[in-house]
Amino acid sequence: MTVTYDENAAAPADPSDSLFARACRGERTSRPPVWFMRQAGRSLPEYRRLREGVPMLESCTRPDMVTEITLQPVRRYGVDAAIFYSDIVVPLRAVGVDVDVKPGVGPVLGRPIRSRADLDLLRPLEPGEVSFVDEAVRALVGELGGTPLIGFAGAPFTLASYLVEGGPSKHHEVTKALMHSDPELWHELLSRVAGISAMFLDVQVRAGASAVQLFDSWAGALSAADYAKYVHPHSAEVLDSVIDVPRIHFGVGTSEFLPLMASAGADVVGVDWRLPLDEAALRVPGKPLQGNLDPALLGADWPVVEREVHRIVAEGRRAPAHIFNLGHGVLPATDPGVLARVVETVQAAGGAGVAGAAAGA
């Protein structure tokens, strides 16, 4: 026994040596790194206190608030990565789109974008228009030390759905009608949104983010054929533009076209709770996977949650590498105590302390 590297010991000083970064590169780790989508936010009392009286999108423009909110779950849970606190519509608002986030609803537009004339509203994002992002990322990278910071953006389809529908939509019917009736307008719209998302990621990466995640939360509303034709090229444009850091590509309900999500340019493929990770590993061979505990199950009795965590850790071993996460974001009513126990359980999995041999390091 010469290997002494303990993966549960204090994080290494360089985020690129972290367990999370190694898993992103496809290295097999002794236990999965763990973080949660929406780990910052309403499930945390300290978040609710800090946000009191400050509108969501305003909080995103205040680097002191962004920094504190991003750090809150890292302190509380000891997760293996931080995710930058912001929102997918922040860069849209920065270019002048009249969008707000309504509590309990989501992003809502003053006026939906549906015609060629409306496209003028979607001009390219200048980095200076989101200087508050640059500032907050730099502050965070300093505070986080060896813990990696994940930057993110909304994928073109998910953002376009909000823009075209004017708000959250169950069936995305106006969006789909536009996509099929006027493909030329559709592609121009997605290409503009892709440029904005790519620049939003670029700002975060240049400021020091260690990885990025592209969220295509509503892509699962599409058929594989429509995804391939109308969306894939634009998501690929965003992912291809990212330099030097790992790219996680996540969608909800996208199990039927997981290989397309991978081929759009993902280093890591995010999987929701519908598809077991061992099955996902067969669909995207060679790709590290991220996921996939059903966030709704966090409300079940602890033995249920614990069994699910163990199942997911075991199934994740069928992939080259696994990053433990939920299958979608933390729900606001989630008990933070349960998330803390999930982190503990994942971090104790896989023979903590005897990391080297199992990690094949």
> Does 87 carry a binding-site annotation?
yes
**156 contacts ligand CP3 (rule: CB under 6 A):** no
Q: List, in order, residues 6 or more apart from 213 with CB less than 8 Å away.
A: 83, 150, 151, 152, 247, 248, 249, 250, 270
Contact 207, 145 (CB under 8 A): no
| Least Å from the CB of residue 189 to ligand CP3 | 18
The one catalytic residue among 87, 202, 267, 272: 87
DSSP states of 345-360 as a string?
A: HHHHTTTTT-HHHHHT
> Does 72 carry a binding-site annotation?
no
**103 contacts ligand CP3 (rule: CB under 6 A):** yes
Contacts 24+ apart (CB under 8 A), 108-114: 108/166, 108/167, 108/168, 109/162, 109/163, 109/166, 109/167, 111/166, 112/163, 112/164, 112/165, 112/166, 112/174, 113/163, 113/164, 113/189, 114/164, 114/174, 114/178
| Least Å from the CB of residue 150 to ligand CP3 | 9
Stretch that binds ligand CP3, among 79-87, 129-137, 174-182, 273-281 (CB under 6 A): 79-87
Q: Which of residues 167-206 bind ligand CP3 (CB under 6 A)?
A: none
Considering only residues 11, 19, 21, 37, which one is a binding residue for ligand CP3 as defined by CB under 6 A?
Answer: 37
**87 contacts ligand CP3 (rule: CB under 6 A):** yes
**124 contacts ligand CP3 (rule: CB under 6 A):** no
**Does 318 participate in catalysis according to the annotation?**
no
Q: What angle do CA 298, 252, 169 make, to 5 degrees?
A: 105
Nearer to ligand CP3, 91 or 329 (CB): 329
Order of all β-strands in the sheet with 289-293:
82-83, 149-154, 211-216, 247-251, 268-270, 289-293, 322-326
Stretch that binds ligand CP3, among 81-89, 220-228, 272-280, 311-319 (CB under 6 A): 81-89
| Least Å from the CB of residue 307 to ligand CP3 | 25
Considering only residues 29, 39, 175, 254, which one is a binding residue for ligand CP3 as defined by CB under 6 A?
Answer: 39
Considering only residues 88, 207, 212, 275, which one is a binding residue for ligand CP3 as defined by CB under 6 A?
Answer: 88
> Does 41 carry a binding-site annotation?
yes
As a whole number of angstroms, the distance between CA 333 and CA 180 comes to 38
> Does 328 carry a binding-site annotation?
yes
In the shown chain, the binding pattern of residues 283 to 322 toward ligand CP3, with x for contact by CB under 6 A and - for none, equals ----------------------------------------
| Least Å from the CB of residue 361 to ligand CP3 | 30
**Does 192 participate in catalysis according to the annotation?**
no
Considering only residues 20, 186, 215, 257, which one is a binding residue for ligand CP3 as defined by CB under 6 A?
Answer: 215
**40 contacts ligand CP3 (rule: CB under 6 A):** yes
**152 contacts ligand CP3 (rule: CB under 6 A):** yes
User: 70: which DSSP letter?
Assistant: H
Nearer to ligand CP3, 81 or 355 (CB): 81
SS3 49: helix
**Does 6 participate in catalysis according to the annotation?**
no
> Does 10 carry a binding-site annotation?
no
> Does 38 carry a binding-site annotation?
yes
**Does 51 participate in catalysis according to the annotation?**
yes
Contact 341, 302 (CB under 8 A): yes
Peptide bond between residue 325 and the one before it cis (omega within 30 degrees of 0): no
Q: List, in order, residues 6 or more apart from 151 with CB less than 8 Å away.
A: 84, 137, 201, 204, 205, 209, 211, 212, 213
Crossing angle for the helix pair 232-240 and 156-165, nearest 10 degrees? 120
| Closest listed residue to residue 248, CA positions, set 234, 261, 233 | 261
Residue 313: CB atoms within 10 Å: 19
Q: Per the annotation, where are the binding residues?
A: 38-42, 87, 162, 217, 328
Binding interface with ligand CP3 (CB under 6 A): 37-42, 51, 56, 83, 85, 87-88, 101, 103-107, 152, 158, 215, 217, 329
Q: Per the annotation, where are the binding residues for substrate?
A: 38-42, 87, 162, 217, 328
Catalytic residues: 38, 42, 51, 87, 162
